[in-house]
Amino acid sequence: MILHIDMDAFYASIEERDRPGLRGKPMVVGGNPDKRGVVAAANYTARRYGIHSAMPTSQAKRLCPNLIVLPPRHSYYAQVSQQIRDIFHRYTPLVEPLSLDEAFLDVKHSHLLFGEPADIGRRIKREIQDELKLTASVGVAHNKFLAKVASEAGKPDGILEVNPAGVQVFLDKLPVSKLWGVGKVGNRRLQNLGIHTIGDLRAQTPEMLEDLFGSWGGTLWELAHGKDNRQVVPDHKAKSLSHETTFAEDITDVEALRSWLLDMTRQVAMRLRRNRLRGRIVHVKIRFADFRTITRSRTFPQSTDVTQELWDTGLALLMQNLPLRHREVRLLGFCVSGFDPAGPCQADLFDEAARSRQVRLDTVSDWIQARFGSAALTRAAELVHSAE
């Protein structure tokens, strides 16, 4: 059995925990509304105004003029994320982080020590609440897709188990927008065909869905039937490390996409260093609102775990592959593969001095995050990101 554990409004909840006076007030963590900033997280009070992540902060301010906007403290959130991950590892070594605020846990071998999967989920929730004063939502199911949908259905601060015998009863009544990858445009196309729920979609043929959505149509048909064969793979055993985000609303703003890609790059780079891995290949994945998906990659001459090198390459791939007439983007992903164990690597005579500075910066930055948890050290690119 698999747990999907997702922290509730993670960045915003940490800020509310540390500043109790913010509770009950509309608040977001994000960039400057006067400089094309983007909402990274919104508390539940702000969400009542229609505010959500990936929304331009200026638009959020228009929806709620008294909105409180706080700059992100990425290094601090990373420290709290590690504390949460330490709690996960009390129950299973099979933990696959998806981002700072969510992970899959395979607990099929944990029941003799800790009880049934749902009981393990409740224990983890309680320990996160008691030790960190934060809430999490938990989905319990026999595969990743169902566990993730269940955790979302149980938000906030809930736990929901999907039994194998009740999969279709659980899925069929949900709107098709709950399927991974179905955004605003895809949802509209399905609605126009009279396909409103997952049950409606399940009644269609795979061929019909492939005609409509290409290769993704077959995947949608599988998901509608509750099928997902992916395994939980811990970082240290993975052949690649990645982070991708399906946006609540499709994005056309290039600066917003840059901001999200920077956040993904930072998270993946930290996971590489934590697991003593270096990668040779950087991949950027873009799914447009019409379901067309492209993945582009670039190979380094030597493996790296350096944030700046990964970011420079990822940003170049993003900018080279956005159309001149920029279409709406539904999903953005960043991935590193082609691992070599961390250790001495061949020097580049032309760039070694600059590279050494970046390695030292990453080393010191990681140490400060682990030791102090505040953004006491910030790279120049992140200053721009925070200001935007």
Active-site residues, by number, are: 102
Contact indicator for 361, 266 with CB cutoff of 8 Å: no
The CB density around residue 164, as the number of other CB atoms within 10 Å, is 11
Q: Please count the CA atoms within 13 angstroms of the CA of 327 that sit on its side-chain side.
A: 17
Helical spans, DSSP H, in the chain: 10-18, 44-47, 57-63, 74-88, 111-114, 117-132, 144-153, 167-172, 184-192, 198-202, 206-213, 215-224, 254-274, 307-321, 352-371, 380-387
Bridge partners (DSSP) listed for residue 288:
329
Contact indicator for 358, 307 with CB cutoff of 8 Å: yes
101 is in an annotated binding site: yes
86 is in an annotated binding site: no
Residues 6+ apart with CB under 8 A from 225: 168, 202
The radius of gyration of the chain's CA atoms, rounded to the nearest angstrom, is 21
Structure tokens at 39: 């909402």
Residues 6+ apart with CB under 8 A from 155: 6, 8, 137
Q: What residues form the annotated binding site for Mg(2+)?
A: 6, 101
Instruction: List, as residue ranges, the binding site.
Output: 6, 101
